[in-house]
Every structure is written in structure tokens, then in C-alpha cells.
Amino acid sequence: DHTHDWALDGLSNHDNLAHLCKKHHTLKGAGGWNVRQLGGGRLLWTSPTKIPYETDPETQMGTTA
């Protein structure tokens, strides 16, 4: 999913893409939530009531085992 919408000039690059489940994709698109990339796959979600929630990916992108 494009964090900054592709139709609004959002780029298809690592810093603008996130893997979202259907529920979170719907929240982002129609639920009044705002999403911002923090780097390393971390996202900052801001609710319609302006409460921030930070999420971390289960697996970090670009890391080696």
C-alpha cells in the first residue's frame, strides 16, 4: 500500500510502501486515519481524534539474519 497515495503523486519506493491487511487499508482510506512512515517499516498512525499510535513491523526490512 502507498502511504502517500499513488494517485496523488505518491512514489512506489521503499519509503512510501507498507504491507497492510484489509482492515488497516480500509481504516487508512475511509476511516479518517492518517499514516506516516517513520523508517525501518515503522508507521505512525493518527486517529480521527488526533491520538498517535506507532506500529513496528514483525520483520524489519533490509536486515540480515
One-character DSSP codes across 2-64: BSS-GGGT---SGGGB----HHHHHHHHHSS-EEEEEETTEEEEE-TT--EEEE--SS-TT--
Residue-wise pLDDT for 13-63, tens only, equals 888 888 888 888 888 878 889 999 998 889 999 999 999 999 988 776 665
Do the Cβ atoms of 33 and 47 come closer than 8 Å? Answer: yes
- What does pTM read for this prediction? 0.76
